[in-house]
Every structure is written in structure tokens, then in C-alpha cells.
Amino acid sequence: MKILSVVGARPQFVKLAAIADAAAQRDDVEHLIVHTGQHYDAAMSDVFFADLRIPAPDVNLAIGSGSHGRQTGAMLAGMDEVLEEHRPDWTLVYGDTNSTLAGTLSAVKMHLKVAHLEAGLRSFNRRMPEEHNRVLTDHAADLLLAPTEVARTHLAAEGLAERTLVTGDVMTDVCLRVAASVEGAEPALPEGIDPTAEFAVATIHRADNTDDPERLRAIIRSLQALEMPLALFAHPRLVAKAKDAGIELSGGAVHVGAPVAYPDLVGAVKQARAVVTDSGGLQKEAYLLGTPCSTVRTETEWVETLEDDWNRLVPDPSELTAAVSRPRPTADRPAHYGDGRAALRSVDALREND
């Protein structure tokens, strides 16, 4: 059986690591990898393949950045040719990026079966491009691999229950594996932060936070006012938008570093006193690793993380300093995201539905 994975952006490489590993454990599976090229900087792409030991992509469409329509359109054109050549039994798409939507649309129009990994997540925020990508993908796909029971509920409410299977979360597979491998190692932090003392970790990259200069300035100011030092691993979009708006990211508590490799991120989050982010994946990683998280958004797709204040939504930047400094919750963290075997379950679901 031939599975063709379509990936393009950083969080998808993490999910792909789990799937590539699971596919390699099944003799009857041929696994092809198509990289759309949505993320292309070495720190945003190559290091993930190297560190997570993912086989090199069979095809790289090298699409690069652009407006949503231009980027998605270029991927669609590229995918048509790839799918025509390889005719997979399953096209597997991941998460909610423009690469996800392009892979899906191209395949379904060629009457090729599509499975959506991480199906059923909803923010119910129609300002997010990701919300459109995931809703459209779920409705077009043939098999919906849902990470949680909450995701299953969303799909059922949209009439998609029959195509749904709860597998657990594949990012959890990788996070737990990598966390064990970095146990005891000193985290790699930007200059000026003592890794043996208290520190916080932050990433900010959503358009809603980066593209309005006033909002971005307020977020950065609150982070700079923290008492403990904060490692800000800066996405290229954050760096570009801050530069355009004349905002200095470094200063006060904030120490800026480049985006880091996945094992370094996991190592840093594991030892951090607090996490600040607008990323979906990082909220969940903080939860899995037992570090309290403050999420700079009005809502989250990973609602389970909000239980017992492990994750807190902090849409108002002026409340960020206090939220990040709150005490670490003492409550247990139930295993909402599965047992670390979601990828194998997903690959087996494709084999059984071939």
C-alpha cells in the first residue's frame, strides 16, 4: 500500500516524524514524502528532518512564501503533477496549514483518497487562516484521524462522525520520545540566560499578534517586564514584523534567539518555569512536560490544556506579566493526548481502510 504524506511547515515535520517511523514498521507500506516548501529556512525545515531522523522528502515543490492564495495555488498546481505520477492509495495531510489544504484539494479532485491527521480541531475563530484550512480539509477528506474525544465531538456535530477515528495525538508520540532523549541535558538558551536558574520560554508568530504594531509592542513590553529572564525563540515572521514596526525585541527580561531544533525546544520547555506562546503545538508540549503555559490568544484548539490552569488564555497583553508569573499548578495532568502510539494506530487505520 502506498501512502503519500504532504507536509510543508514546521509542526508538520514533527508529526511526520512519528508517521514515517510507524510506516517503516509495516512491511506492506510504501511511504512517500512530499515537501511543499512552505517553510524553507534551514532552521524551519532541514534541522527537523535531521534531528528527528525523517527520511529526505521524495519530492520538494519549493513553493516558498507568498499571500495565502498565491502560495496555496502554487502548491495545488505542483501537487496535481506529483499525484498524477505516484497515484497513492492514501494521501495523508497534516494539521491546518496551507500545505494541508492544497494536498487535500488536489487529491480529492483526482478521486484519490485523503486522510486528515489531527482532524476535528476547532478554534471557532474565523479570522484564523488555519480554521478555514482545517474545516475545509475535514469536509473533503475520506478518513478523519482525530487526536482527542473533543475533536471527535466537533466532527460529529458537523455530520462527519462516520468518517472519524480517534487515534490519539501523534505530536505527543514524538514529544514524549524526545523528552526522554534529552533528560538531564542542559537546555540551549540565548546568551545571557543561566539555564540552571529560573527562566521562561516564548514563541509568538500568529498574524493576529505580529501584524498589528500596537499589539505586538504591548506583548513585547509585557514580556520585557518579567522578573525572570525569557528566551524568545523568534520566528522569521516575528523578526520581520518587529523590524518593520521599529520594535526592539531584546531588552529587559527578553533574550532573543533563532528558532530552535525540536529536541532543544523540548529540553528548554521541560526545564522552563513558564511558557508563553500563540502556537498550538507548544501549548500541548508545555502541558505534556508539566510547564505552565500562557497563551496569547482568545481561544485554543487544545481545550484540555486549560484544565486546572496548566494553560491560561491571555488575550490582553497587559495581563501577560502577571499570568506568566503565576505559581505552577499542583493538579495532575490526565493523558488526554494518548499513549504515545497514535502514529502506529493512524498507519494501521489506513492499511485497514485500503
**What residues make contact with ligand UD1 under the rule CB under 6 A?**
9-11, 38-41, 44, 65, 96-98, 129-130, 205, 236-237, 240
Q: How far is the CB of 38 from ligand UD1 (least distance, A)?
A: 5
| Torsion sign over Cα 339, 343, 347, 349 | positive
Buried b / exposed e along 207-219 (16+ C-beta atoms within 10 A): eebbeeeeebbbb
Please, which residue, 116 or 345, has the CB nearer to ligand UD1?
A: 116
Please, which residue, 209 or 291, has the CB nearer to ligand UD1?
A: 209
Please, which residue, 281 or 340, has the CB nearer to ligand UD1?
A: 281
Q: How far is the CB of 158 from ligand UD1 (least distance, A)?
A: 20
Please, which residue, 262 or 344, has the CB nearer to ligand UD1?
A: 262
Q: How far is the CB of 206 from ligand UD1 (least distance, A)?
A: 7
Residue pair 82/7 in contact by the 8 Å Cβ criterion: no
Q: Helices 170-181 and 280-289, interaxial angle, to 10°? A: 50
Residue pair 305/195 in contact by the 8 Å Cβ criterion: no
* Phi-psi map region of 64: left, alpha, beta (phi>0 left; psi -120 to 50 alpha): left
Q: How far is the CB of 100 from ligand UD1 (least distance, A)?
A: 8
154, 205, 235, 255: the active-site residue: 205
Q: How far is the CB of 210 from ligand UD1 (least distance, A)?
A: 8
Q: How far is the CB of 254 from ligand UD1 (least distance, A)?
A: 20
Q: How far is the CB of 290 from ligand UD1 (least distance, A)?
A: 23
What is the DSSP code string of 263-302? HHHHHHHHH-SEEEE--HHHHHHHHHHT--EEE-SS--S-
Q: How many CA atoms lie within 13 A of 331 on its CB side?
A: 13
Identify the H or E element spanning 164.
Answer: strand 164-166
Residue pair 30/354 in contact by the 8 Å Cβ criterion: no
* Phi and psi, residue 119, nearest 5°: -75, 155
Please, which residue, 2 or 132, has the CB nearer to ligand UD1?
A: 132
Q: C-alpha distances in angstroms, 343 versus 21, 92, 281?
A: 8, 12, 16
Identify the H or E element spanning 80.
Answer: helix 68-86
Please, which residue, 123 or 321, has the CB nearer to ligand UD1?
A: 123
- Is 139 catalytic? The answer is no
- Read off the DSSP letter of residue 95: T
Closest Cα partner for 254 from 185, 189, 187? 189
**What SS3 state is found at 309?**
helix
In sequence order, the β-bridge partners of residue 270 are none
Please, which residue, 41 or 186, has the CB nearer to ligand UD1?
A: 41
The residues that are catalytic are: 205
